[in-house]
Amino acid sequence: MPEQKSQTEFYGPFAHIPGRYEWCRIHSPSHGSFDTFIVIETTTDARVTVYVNSENGEAFMADRYPESSCIRVSKDDLVLATSADGHMVTGSLSASEGPVRDASMVFLSPSEASVSESDYGGESFRVWGSRWACTGVDLELKALCNGRLKEESGEQIFKGEEGVITLGSYGRIEPFGEGA
């Protein structure tokens, strides 16, 4: 594949427990749309583990973020869905390898919740320890997460864990240090 240049991507549905776990459908002009579950081990500017459920997702990770770990599962083993109004996002994962073996989470934001605009990134915001920087905007709703997650070290139960639902997110991806 030729060297990738700048492009704008859209992310939605997208829900996360900040700094820990993210469920995201990535819409990329270069790789199409695909679902992911992202495990953040330290910070979002360091390597992460990304579970994908398609060939598009696997190619995206190999081409764009080879520094991070990519684990391919079947479409039935990684499912992401959202309600019509965007105020509920559900995700489920089943995997035989990686740091998370099983997860099921429901993010819910009250219908009367107000949307806030949140800028992120910049030319010095390295994505997942890669050669890419990202600048973008999220339209966020405060949410609560309920569910469970099984790791090799044990199980976590989420009951009203603070989370975020993003009604829409876009990011401008550019080579790191070239003026994102």
Mean pLDDT, consecutive 10-residue stretches, the chain (180 aa), reads 70 94 94 95 88 96 93 98 96 97 97 88 80 88 97 94 93 73
Map residue 63 onto helix, strand or coil.
Answer: helix
pLDDT score, position 119: 87
Both tokens of 93, joined, read 């994962």
pLDDT score, position 143: 97
Stated pTM of the model: 0.91
Q: What is the CB neighbour count within 10 angstroms for residue 112?
A: 6
Q: Is residue 71 part of a domain?
A: yes
Both tokens of 51, joined, read 């579970």
> From the centroid of its chain, how far is CA 28?
13
- Our count of domains for the chain comes to 1
Q: Is residue 57 part of a domain?
A: yes
Question: DSSP class of residue 30?
Answer: T
pLDDT score, position 23: 98
Cβ–Cβ under 8 Å, residues 52 and 34 = yes
pLDDT score, position 120: 83
Both tokens of 79, joined, read 């499912």
Which of 94, 102, 107, 101 has the alpha carbon at shortest distance from 144?
Answer: 107
Q: Is residue 20 part of a domain?
A: yes
pLDDT score, position 106: 98
Q: Is residue 180 part of a domain?
A: no
Q: Is residue 2 part of a domain?
A: no
Q: Which domain holds residue 131?
A: 7-175
pLDDT score, position 2: 44
Q: Is residue 30 part of a domain?
A: yes
pLDDT score, position 3: 55
pLDDT score, position 180: 41
Residue with tokens 């509920």: 88
pLDDT score, position 113: 86
pLDDT score, position 15: 97
pLDDT score, position 135: 85
The whole-angstrom separation of Cα 8 and Cα 95 is: 30
